[in-house]
Amino acid sequence: PLPSARTGATVTAAGGRIVVLGGYADDGTGYPRVAADALILDPGARRWRSIHAAAAARTGHVAVRTGNQVFVWGGRAWRNGTWVTLSTGILLDPATGTSRTLPTSPLGARSWSTAVRAGTAVLVWSGLKSGETATLDGALFVPSSPAP
């Protein structure tokens, strides 16, 4: 079973595993708590494991499989009592439980975007900027290049 109920998390299959990343949970204090972990299910072993990844602390992000890794970008984080819209991303390897931070992207900070894998690339499109303004742009991430 999952350690806590979540909304705004993503679920992605990669490398024979299922990854639940980020999301929002109410910790009972009335303040949002954004989960700073990824839950990885190994269906063969029927076992969950949790890995701490501070960069995973986000909700309203996108997550797409790129080969055996999960590409995660954008979203929102709760920092110092306020929501911050993110312009950062990570590549998570569910087999090893490791992640690496993606370099800064030319795409501005946004949450609630859409993303799709197209061949060997990932297209991140639209979303909401800080202040809840819709965007009409996107960026293409190619795994061999450093940023989305």
Across 39-44, average pLDDT = 91
Please give the pLDDT value at position 24: 82
Lowest-pLDDT range, 23-27, 91-95, 130-134, 142-146?
A: 142-146
Please give the pLDDT value at position 147: 38
Alpha helix positions (H), the chain:
none
Q: What are the C-alpha distances in Å from 111 to residues 6, 21, 135, 137, 138?
A: 17, 15, 10, 13, 12
In this structure, the number of other CB atoms found within 10 A of the CB of residue 33 comes to: 16
Q: Are 124 and 74 in contact (CB under 8 A)?
A: yes
3-state SS class at 55: helix
Q: What are the pLDDT digits (tens) for 46-60?
A: 888 888 877 778 999
- Quote the mean pLDDT of the chain: 85
Across 81-105, average pLDDT = 87
Q: Are 59 and 76 in contact (CB under 8 A)?
A: yes
In this structure, the number of other CB atoms found within 10 A of the CB of residue 85 comes to: 21
Please give the pLDDT value at position 1: 56
Kindly give, in sequence order, each residue whose CB lies less than 8 Å from that of residue 96, ignoring residues fewer than 6 positions away: none
Which pair of tokens denotes residue 116? 């799709």
Task: Give me the percent of the chain exceeding a pLDDT of 70.
Answer: 91
Please give the pLDDT value at position 102: 84
Nearest to 51 by CA among 35, 42, 41, 40: 40
